[in-house]
Amino acid sequence: MTAAPRMYERWIHELWNGDLAELPAIARGVVSDDFVGNWPGNTALVHGPDELAAVIRQGREMFDELSFDIEVGPIEQGDLVSGRWVATGRYQGSPSQFHGHDLLRRDGDRFVEYWVIAEDPTAS
């Protein structure tokens, strides 16, 4: 496995599934200081590892027992890495499962840009 797929596995397993108390430190090890995160309808929503950690925390705290698993990939092409994931947990007491796709651009051993498409598990 090359470095980029290992980086994506860290992105999912250490960052999105990681200890909430350690998110800022984990994020600093996974993304660059000038990292930019793009969500649908929120271009450049996140700048840097601390903002990324805050957004991840906010999303994860909406759920109980939330975990993310890689379903497809990671797939690497040049400086891009992509993957499809599934998240499972409990939302407002009910079982919840949703899927998403990540596309990340890397520079060296850190991700520098992120685009995500994901289902909205909170939509009725």
Is 120 within 8 Å of 102 (Cβ atoms)?
no
Is the pLDDT assigned to residue 49 strictly greater than 90?
A: yes
Predicted pLDDT at 82 = 96
DSSP-derived 3-state class of residue 101: strand
CA 22, CA 40: separation in Å to the nearest integer?
A: 27
What's the token pair of residue 32?
A: 């660059």
The predicted model gives 61-74 an average pLDDT of 94
Percentage above 90 pLDDT, the chain? 83
CA 7, CA 9: separation in Å to the nearest integer?
A: 5
**What are the Cα distances from residue 46, in Å, to 6, 75, 109?**
23, 24, 19
* pLDDT digits 0-9 by tens, 2-47: 688 899 999 999 999 999 999 999 999 999 999 999 988 888 889 9
CA 72, CA 43: separation in Å to the nearest integer?
A: 25
What's the token pair of residue 67?
A: 């975990």
